[in-house]
């Protein structure tokens, strides 16, 4: 699939000799993509898949009974839909159990707090922790404290996440979740409390992994619902000494076996061994039923692939759906998939991931070789009628595709409207009623359009320069890391 | 204060001889009301009271430690603000404790459900209840079942509450809560599950009293959050037999002492012993911090009374603020207040209650003698500039005023925008962040305008014909009862 230098030179001259608007996508491929796009807009399969996954399997965090049920569900579902080469790929995953939690302000004004343990948190001692609260508003304020300030106390990092269409506020908020407790523990804190890394104003706390690069946590960490963080903050701001009592039975257990679930719409002819990768993750956090994160993604990519599978002609390249294990708590499925691929990564001509709910897609971005940008324009022409802008060629592709992108696989990204995503994400509120069927279908339409074209044209998208940077740490120098 | 027949005749001729637009409210009273109205719109006291009550006292259900703390808070607050004759009035209240709850679908697709016990629910047996679910959508469908259908099973009444500006959907929804379990128990059901009598789409269940006329409940009853009712409904609709396991430690304990808290801005001169009653309830359900129900009411009527208290001239009639005990679980405070009044009820020229959150007031209604309607017009002229329409003369006045209204006391009603009220009401989401400061102030402005005029004019509002109807029962004949 990597063209040899002579082919590249020939292609260059071919492109140079036709007009600047040379058409790479043949008319019949465009017509096929347009028909599938329009079919997707009025289809019901994505919603049905999502209902089945959320209502029948429900919560499915790594290593849980729900995780195993989800794998079984996905295999049966893929076979039932007629996908080929349906198989699993074993993945070892961490197994963290939430257990119970209680959090109370004991002074100056006793009140209960709605809280949840963060993924990876150890339990409190059996009798709980009761200590004074020290409130800061940022990671830098926390880092500026010493053990004189924090030893024997509870650190409360009270950062209010900003709402944004692109969900940008999550970056700073989740960094506090995955780095704050290390800094607090170094300074002798007994536990960390954070304000939920979410925008919900409801009494539903936001969970998520507290680990950075899988480094274990020394002290328990919990998140408060926003209203409860307001309450704690109010009491701290009275100037009186505020004490909190925490009790958690969270625990880290031995690793468990889980699996990536894979199914294909096989290609035909000379390009059949090349792969258009459609990815989403099968696991979810345990508080909700994993509708927006990432049941929607599972539904979107599966429905898109199913539409191609049902198309009159088989695609030239193989459409491969991978439902990754454990995205949420370590990206193990993606890492395992990439590791198993070895040099087969070069057969992956493009990757598309869906993992940001089902808000309407408003932007189509790419990260492809420069000489493939004309194709992006041609795909975009078919996406514009469903309300999608043209983005830049700097797409990240998403978390589960990152190991493959770093190894050189080009990616597309569909940016969804995330204005309300963080009202539900990682909370008990992540349930199917938060999904709009028309928006979900518009997502399927976008994915099927791009995937169908990528699978049926002669040209590919080149390769990306491998990304060999070290992993992002919790150092302040890495606070503004771009993925 | 009831005028004698001769006075009435004289008044009739007086009114008949002046123009149809005869002015009853003197210009200086109007000017005073207008000044207080405008001052209220930019005041901060209502919000400060609300913050203090919700953040420092928090949940305060009848008989709880929070209830006692709220009474102490209210006494201190009223004295601190300079109210006169601050006193309590003992009220015996029921003491129900929520305890813990767990609810799980055990088949066909095991999932946890977000649930809460309804006020007055007994506990399940120690080992819980596990039984098949029978789903109906209305009270009438439930009543149509027999013990053949329900004996040994769990009744699930799955009525979806409608959203409305006037909150009208609550009437049907809460009637299921307070009547459904009696019908289910009669037919041998082991427990009742209802869909929350609220409009929230969040994973926060809606509590409230399950009792009708204080008749004890025979079987446990719980409410599911809307998303969880969707989940249970989905599984029932698969056609497979659905079983649920419930465990609750709710309990009804011996009655406790609580209190109405009363404070006054004393009147002066000949009308000083006449009362303009401003009421709200001090208790709240225990899931939230009681911000909209009824911290907002406490803040609105107290702030309105405080503005009158601080006015240059004392009001002619006495402004009396009553913060009633236990509205939520039996209206005991209101009943006790009315009982203690005996014939003093005749000194209550008008009552105003605030108990519907802090949504903007959009309608001003009354229930007064017909010859007082001119005053209502004149008050309304001062309310129109702050966005308030003129309602009818059929106002109910609110729950806590109902014993006094039934005994003949005229009432005003300010109808607030309740479009979102039932997203928060009786749920953990009833917290101060749901209150808009400007809307809260507009409420204070409305109340202070009407109360100031009522306290400072010569004329009164007549008396209402006493309402001697029997209590509303759970019979189908009473389903459409008008209060």
Dig out the tokens for A347 from the structure. 């057969």
Give dist(CA A276, CA A205) in Å, integer. Answer: 37
Dig out the tokens for A199 from the structure. 């925008």
Given CB atoms, is B290 within the 8 Å cutoff of chain A?
no
Give dist(CA B212, CA B199) in Å, integer. Answer: 22
Yes or no: say if B113 and B228 are a contact pair by the CB < 8 Å rule: yes
Q: Is the pLDDT of residue A1 over 80?
A: no
Angstrom CA distances, B74 to A55, B59, B67, B279, B437, stand at 47, 14, 11, 13, 21
Confidence of residue A343 (pLDDT cuts 50, 70, 90): confident
Q: Which ipTM value was assigned to this complex?
A: 0.92
Q: Is the pLDDT of residue B17 over 50?
A: no
Determine the 3-state secondary structure of A114 from DSSP. Answer: coil
CB contacts < 8 A (A, B): 80
Lowest mean pLDDT among A109-118, A161-170, B19-28, B153-162: B19-28
Angstrom CA distances, A406 to A78, A328, A345, A409, stand at 28, 19, 11, 7
Yes or no: say if A61 and A426 are a contact pair by the CB < 8 Å rule: no
Q: A431 and B235: CB-CB below 8 Å? A: no
Q: Which residues of B touch A109 (CB under 8 A)?
A: 55-58
Q: Is the pLDDT of residue B18 over 50?
A: no
Give dist(CA A217, CA A474) in Å, integer. Answer: 13
Largest CA distance in chain A: 79
> For A123-178, what is each residue's pLDDT tens digit?
999 999 999 999 999 999 999 999 999 999 999 999 999 999 888 899 999 999 99
Give Cα A221 to chain centroid, integer Å: 22
Give dist(CA B367, CA B351) in Å, integer. Answer: 10
Yes or no: say if B279 and B353 are a contact pair by the CB < 8 Å rule: yes
Of residues B201, B231, B432, nearest to A55 (C-beta) = B231
What is the model's pLDDT at position A5? 54
Q: A109 and B431: CB-CB below 8 Å? A: no
Give dist(CA A423, CA A200) in Å, integer. Answer: 4
- Chain A residue nearest residue B225, CA to CA: A429
- Chain A residue nearest residue B434, CA to CA: A201
Q: Is the pLDDT of residue A10 over 90?
A: no
Give dist(CA A408, CA A348) in Å, integer. Answer: 9
Yes or no: say if A197 and A161 are a contact pair by the CB < 8 Å rule: yes
Q: Which residues of B touch A56 (CB under 8 A)?
A: 109
Burial A85-121 (b: 16+ CB within 10 A, else e): ebebbebbbbbbebeebebbbeeebbbbbbbbbbbbb
Given CB atoms, is A224 within the 8 Å cutoff of chain B?
no
Considering only residues 386 to 445 of chain B, which have any Cβ-Cβ distance to chain A shorter than 8 Å? 427-429, 431-434
Helix extents (H) in B324-415: 332-341, 373-383, 402-406
Q: B234 and A434: CB-CB below 8 Å? A: no
Given CB atoms, is B227 within the 8 Å cutoff of chain A?
yes
> For A242-259, what is each residue's pLDDT tens digit?
999 999 999 999 999 999
Yes or no: say if A355 and A328 are a contact pair by the CB < 8 Å rule: no
> For B439-471, what is each residue's pLDDT tens digit?
999 999 999 999 999 999 999 999 999 999 999
Q: B433 and A58: CB-CB below 8 Å? A: no
- Chain B residue nearest residue A106, CA to CA: B56
Strand-strand pairing, B129-136 and B154-157: parallel
Of residues A51, A226, A234, nearest to B234 (C-beta) = A51
DSSP 8-state code for residue B229: H
Yes or no: say if B188 and B131 are a contact pair by the CB < 8 Å rule: no
**HSE (side-chain half, CA atoms, 13 Å) at B430:** 32
> For B351-365, what is each residue's pLDDT tens digit?
999 999 999 999 999
Q: Which residues of B touch A286 (CB under 8 A)?
A: none
Given CB atoms, is B132 within the 8 Å cutoff of chain A?
no
Confidence of residue B417 (pLDDT cuts 50, 70, 90): very high
Domains and their CATH numbers in chain B: 10-96+254-456 (3.40.630.10), 99-249 (3.50.30.30)
Q: B429 and A111: CB-CB below 8 Å? A: no
Dig out the tokens for B302 from the structure. 């107290």
Length of chain B: 483
Of residues A51, A57, A203, nearest to B204 (C-beta) = A203
Q: Is the pLDDT of residue B415 over 70?
A: yes
Q: What is the average pLDDT across A282-293?
A: 98
Of residues A56, A200, A433, nearest to B230 (C-beta) = A433
Considering only residues 311 to 370 of chain A, which have any Cβ-Cβ distance to chain B shorter than 8 Å? none
């Amino acid at each position: 699939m990597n063209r040899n230098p002579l082919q590249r030179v020939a292609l260059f001259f071919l492109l140079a000799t036709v007009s600047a608007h040379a058409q790479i996508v043949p008319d019949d491929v465009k017509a096929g993509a347009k028909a599938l796009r329009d079919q997707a807009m009025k289809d019901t399969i994505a919603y049905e898949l999502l209902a089945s996954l959320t209502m029948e399997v429900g919560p499915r965090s790594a290593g849980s009974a729900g995780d195993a049920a989800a794998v079984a569900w996905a295999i049966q579902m893929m076979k039932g839909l007629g996908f080929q080469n349906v198989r699993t790929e074993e993945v070892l995953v961490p197994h963290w159990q939430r257990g119970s939690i209680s959090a109370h302000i004991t002074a100056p004004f006793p009140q209960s707090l709605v809280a949840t343990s963060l993924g990876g948190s150890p339990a409190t001692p059996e009798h709980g922790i009761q200590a004074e609260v020290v409130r800061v508003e940022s990671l830098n304020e926390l880092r500026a404290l010493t053990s004189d300030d924090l030893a024997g106390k509870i650190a409360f990092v009270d950062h209010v996440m900003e709402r944004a269409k692109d969900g940008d506020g999550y970056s700073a908020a989740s960094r506090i979740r995955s780095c704050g407790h290390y800094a607090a523990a170094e300074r002798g804190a007994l536990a960390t409390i954070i304000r939920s890394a979410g925008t919900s104003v409801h009494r539903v706390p936001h969970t998520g992994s507290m680990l950075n690069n899988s480094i274990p946590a020394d002290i328990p960490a919990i998140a408060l619902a926003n209203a409860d963080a307001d309450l704690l903050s109010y009491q701290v701001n009275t100037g009186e000494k505020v004490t909190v009592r925490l009790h958690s039975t969270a625990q880290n257990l031995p690793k468990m076996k889980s699996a990536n679930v894979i199914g294909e719409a096989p290609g035909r002819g000379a390009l059949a061994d090349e792969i258009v990768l459609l990815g989403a993750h099968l696991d979810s956090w345990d508080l909700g039923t994993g509708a927006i994160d990432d049941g929607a993604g599972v539904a979107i990519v599966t429905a898109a692939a199913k539409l191609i599978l049902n198309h009159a002609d088989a695609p030239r390249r193989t459409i491969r759906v991978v439902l990754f294990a454990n995205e949420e708590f370590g990206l193990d499925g993606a890492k395992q998939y990439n590791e198993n691929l070895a040099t087969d990564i070069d057969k992956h001509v493009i990757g598309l991931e869906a993992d940001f709910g089902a808000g309407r897609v408003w932007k189509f971005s790419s990260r492809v070789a420069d000489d493939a940008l004309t194709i992006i324009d041609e795909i975009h022409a078919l996406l514009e009628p469903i309300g999608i802008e043209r983005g830049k060629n700097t797409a990240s592709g998403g978390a589960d595709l990152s190991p493959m992108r770093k190894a050189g696989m080009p990616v597309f990204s569909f940016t969804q409207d995330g204005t309300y995503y963080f009202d539900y994400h990682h909370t008990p509120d992540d349930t199917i009623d938060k999904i709009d069927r028309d928006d979900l279908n518009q997502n399927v339409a976008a994915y099927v359009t791009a995937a169908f074209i990528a699978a049926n044209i002669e040209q590919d998208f080149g390769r990306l320069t491998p990304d060999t940077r070290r992993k992002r740490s919790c150092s302040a120098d890495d606070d503004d890391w771009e993925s």
